[in-house]
Structure 1
Amino acid sequence: MTDTPPDRLSNDTRSPYYDPAVLERGIGLRFNGVEKNNVEEYCVSEGWVRLPVGKSLDRRGNPMTMKVKGQVEPYYLTEAPQAE
Protein backbone atom coordinates (compact mmCIF):
# COMPACT_ATOMS: atom_id res chain seq x y z
CA MET A 1 0.00 0.00 0.00
CA THR A 2 1.40 3.36 -1.01
CA ASP A 3 0.97 6.47 1.06
CA THR A 4 -0.19 8.90 -1.61
CA PRO A 5 -2.63 11.80 -1.21
CA PRO A 6 -5.96 11.71 -3.07
CA ASP A 7 -6.09 12.73 -6.74
CA ARG A 8 -8.54 15.53 -5.96
CA LEU A 9 -9.13 17.36 -2.69
CA SER A 10 -11.03 20.46 -1.56
CA ASN A 11 -11.11 22.33 1.74
CA ASP A 12 -14.71 23.50 1.15
CA THR A 13 -17.08 21.49 3.37
CA ARG A 14 -19.83 21.59 0.70
CA SER A 15 -17.65 19.93 -1.93
CA PRO A 16 -17.92 16.18 -2.66
CA TYR A 17 -14.08 16.13 -2.63
CA TYR A 18 -13.86 17.36 0.97
CA ASP A 19 -12.17 14.80 3.26
CA PRO A 20 -11.65 15.95 6.87
CA ALA A 21 -9.41 12.97 7.78
CA VAL A 22 -6.94 13.82 5.02
CA LEU A 23 -7.01 17.53 5.82
CA GLU A 24 -6.45 16.83 9.52
CA ARG A 25 -3.34 14.83 8.64
CA GLY A 26 -2.02 17.74 6.58
CA ILE A 27 -1.37 18.17 2.87
CA GLY A 28 1.51 20.07 1.31
CA LEU A 29 1.38 21.11 -2.33
CA ARG A 30 3.95 22.01 -4.96
CA PHE A 31 2.52 23.77 -8.00
CA ASN A 32 4.94 24.14 -10.93
CA GLY A 33 7.79 23.49 -8.48
CA VAL A 34 6.73 26.23 -6.01
CA GLU A 35 5.32 25.52 -2.53
CA LYS A 36 1.76 26.82 -2.20
CA ASN A 37 -0.12 27.18 1.08
CA ASN A 38 -3.24 29.01 -0.13
CA VAL A 39 -4.77 26.36 -2.43
CA GLU A 40 -8.56 25.93 -2.07
CA GLU A 41 -8.82 22.80 -4.25
CA TYR A 42 -6.55 20.73 -6.50
CA CYS A 43 -6.72 17.93 -9.07
CA VAL A 44 -3.57 16.02 -10.00
CA SER A 45 -4.94 14.07 -12.98
CA GLU A 46 -6.37 17.19 -14.67
CA GLY A 47 -3.40 19.37 -13.63
CA TRP A 48 -5.00 22.38 -11.95
CA VAL A 49 -5.32 24.19 -8.64
CA ARG A 50 -7.91 26.69 -7.46
CA LEU A 51 -6.35 29.76 -5.81
CA PRO A 52 -8.04 32.72 -4.08
CA VAL A 53 -7.99 36.03 -5.94
CA GLY A 54 -6.99 38.79 -3.54
CA LYS A 55 -9.36 39.47 -0.66
CA SER A 56 -12.54 39.55 -2.75
CA LEU A 57 -15.51 37.43 -1.67
CA ASP A 58 -18.47 36.03 -3.56
CA ARG A 59 -22.06 36.75 -2.53
CA ARG A 60 -22.00 33.85 -0.04
CA GLY A 61 -18.88 35.12 1.72
CA ASN A 62 -16.48 32.57 0.21
CA PRO A 63 -13.20 33.68 -1.37
CA MET A 64 -13.27 34.27 -5.13
CA THR A 65 -11.05 31.68 -6.77
CA MET A 66 -9.29 31.21 -10.08
CA LYS A 67 -8.38 27.88 -11.68
CA VAL A 68 -4.72 27.74 -12.77
CA LYS A 69 -3.28 24.88 -14.84
CA GLY A 70 0.14 23.37 -14.29
CA GLN A 71 2.01 20.51 -12.60
CA VAL A 72 0.48 19.56 -9.24
CA GLU A 73 2.46 17.54 -6.64
CA PRO A 74 0.61 16.88 -3.35
CA TYR A 75 2.28 15.22 -0.36
CA TYR A 76 1.43 14.46 3.26
CA LEU A 77 2.97 16.64 5.96
CA THR A 78 2.83 13.90 8.60
CA GLU A 79 3.40 10.15 8.58
CA ALA A 80 0.48 7.74 8.46
CA PRO A 81 -0.73 6.52 11.87
CA GLN A 82 0.47 2.99 12.57
CA ALA A 83 -2.14 0.28 13.19
CA GLU A 84 -1.60 -1.76 16.33
Structure 2
Amino acid sequence: MSDTPPDRLSTDPRSKFHDKAVLERGVGIRFKGEEKTNVEEYCISEGWVRLPVGRSLDRRGQPMTLKVKGEVEAYFYDQVNREET
Protein backbone atom coordinates (compact mmCIF):
# COMPACT_ATOMS: atom_id res chain seq x y z
CA MET A 1 0.00 0.00 0.00
CA SER A 2 1.33 3.43 -0.87
CA ASP A 3 2.01 6.23 1.62
CA THR A 4 -0.39 8.64 -0.09
CA PRO A 5 -4.15 8.40 0.40
CA PRO A 6 -6.32 7.93 -2.70
CA ASP A 7 -7.53 10.96 -4.64
CA ARG A 8 -11.14 10.07 -3.90
CA LEU A 9 -12.54 8.00 -1.05
CA SER A 10 -16.00 7.29 0.36
CA THR A 11 -17.15 5.78 3.65
CA ASP A 12 -20.32 4.40 1.98
CA PRO A 13 -19.81 0.68 1.19
CA ARG A 14 -22.17 0.99 -1.82
CA SER A 15 -19.88 3.52 -3.52
CA LYS A 16 -17.31 2.48 -6.11
CA PHE A 17 -14.83 4.75 -4.28
CA HIS A 18 -15.12 2.79 -1.01
CA ASP A 19 -11.88 1.03 0.01
CA LYS A 20 -12.14 -0.90 3.27
CA ALA A 21 -8.37 -1.45 3.63
CA VAL A 22 -7.60 2.27 3.34
CA LEU A 23 -10.36 3.22 5.79
CA GLU A 24 -9.11 0.66 8.33
CA ARG A 25 -5.66 2.21 8.12
CA GLY A 26 -7.16 5.56 9.11
CA VAL A 27 -7.44 8.61 6.86
CA GLY A 28 -7.52 12.14 8.23
CA ILE A 29 -8.96 15.08 6.30
CA ARG A 30 -7.93 18.71 6.55
CA PHE A 31 -10.46 20.93 4.76
CA LYS A 32 -9.65 24.63 4.35
CA GLY A 33 -7.00 24.24 7.05
CA GLU A 34 -9.36 22.68 9.64
CA GLU A 35 -9.45 19.06 10.78
CA LYS A 36 -12.74 17.39 9.82
CA THR A 37 -13.89 14.16 11.43
CA ASN A 38 -17.33 13.87 9.82
CA VAL A 39 -16.40 13.64 6.12
CA GLU A 40 -18.50 11.09 4.20
CA GLU A 41 -16.56 11.40 0.93
CA TYR A 42 -13.77 13.56 -0.49
CA CYS A 43 -12.01 14.31 -3.77
CA ILE A 44 -8.63 16.04 -3.67
CA SER A 45 -8.27 16.77 -7.40
CA GLU A 46 -11.73 18.35 -7.70
CA GLY A 47 -11.46 20.08 -4.29
CA TRP A 48 -14.61 19.04 -2.42
CA VAL A 49 -15.88 17.07 0.56
CA ARG A 50 -19.31 15.69 1.43
CA LEU A 51 -20.45 16.50 4.95
CA PRO A 52 -23.62 15.26 6.69
CA VAL A 53 -26.37 17.83 7.18
CA GLY A 54 -27.55 17.56 10.77
CA ARG A 55 -29.44 14.39 11.64
CA SER A 56 -31.70 14.35 8.58
CA LEU A 57 -31.93 11.19 6.48
CA ASP A 58 -32.83 10.63 2.84
CA ARG A 59 -35.58 8.25 1.72
CA ARG A 60 -33.18 5.30 1.84
CA GLY A 61 -32.23 6.00 5.47
CA GLN A 62 -28.78 7.38 4.63
CA PRO A 63 -27.58 10.71 6.08
CA MET A 64 -28.21 13.69 3.83
CA THR A 65 -24.96 15.29 2.71
CA LEU A 66 -23.82 18.62 1.39
CA LYS A 67 -20.96 18.98 -1.11
CA VAL A 68 -18.64 21.79 -0.03
CA LYS A 69 -15.81 23.05 -2.25
CA GLY A 70 -12.40 24.15 -1.02
CA GLU A 71 -8.84 22.97 -0.43
CA VAL A 72 -8.72 19.31 0.64
CA GLU A 73 -5.71 17.57 2.17
CA ALA A 74 -5.80 13.87 3.08
CA TYR A 75 -3.25 11.98 5.18
CA PHE A 76 -2.86 8.67 6.96
CA TYR A 77 -2.97 8.78 10.77
CA ASP A 78 0.05 6.49 11.08
CA GLN A 79 2.17 8.94 9.02
CA VAL A 80 1.35 11.77 11.42
CA ASN A 81 2.45 9.65 14.39
CA ARG A 82 5.71 8.74 12.65
CA GLU A 83 6.52 12.38 11.87
CA GLU A 84 5.95 13.51 15.49
CA THR A 85 8.34 10.95 16.99
Question: Alignment length, in residue pairs?
Answer: 79
Let me know the Cα RMSD of the aligned residues: 1.3
Give the equivalent residue in structure 1 for 2:33: 33
Q: Distance in 1 between matches of 2:8 and 2:55?
A: 25
Q: Distance in 1 between matches of 2:62 and 2:33?
A: 27
Give the equivalent residue in structure 2 for 1:82: none
Shift of 1:78: 1.7
Give the equivalent residue in structure 1 for 2:69: 69
Q: Which residue identity does 2:43 align to in structure 1? A: C
TM-score w.r.t. length of structure 1: 0.90
Give the equivalent residue in structure 2 for 1:11: 11
Shift of 1:2: 5.6
Secondary structure of the equivalent of 1:9? strand
Q: Distance in 2 between matches of 1:69 and 1:6?
A: 18
Give the equivalent residue in structure 2 for 1:46: 46
Gaps of 5+ in 1: 80-84
TM-score w.r.t. length of structure 2: 0.89
Query: What fraction of aligned residue pairs are identical, expressed as a percent?
Result: 72
| Greater helix content | 2
Deviations 1:26-84 (A, max 9, x none): 000000000000000000000000000000000111000000000000000125xxxxx
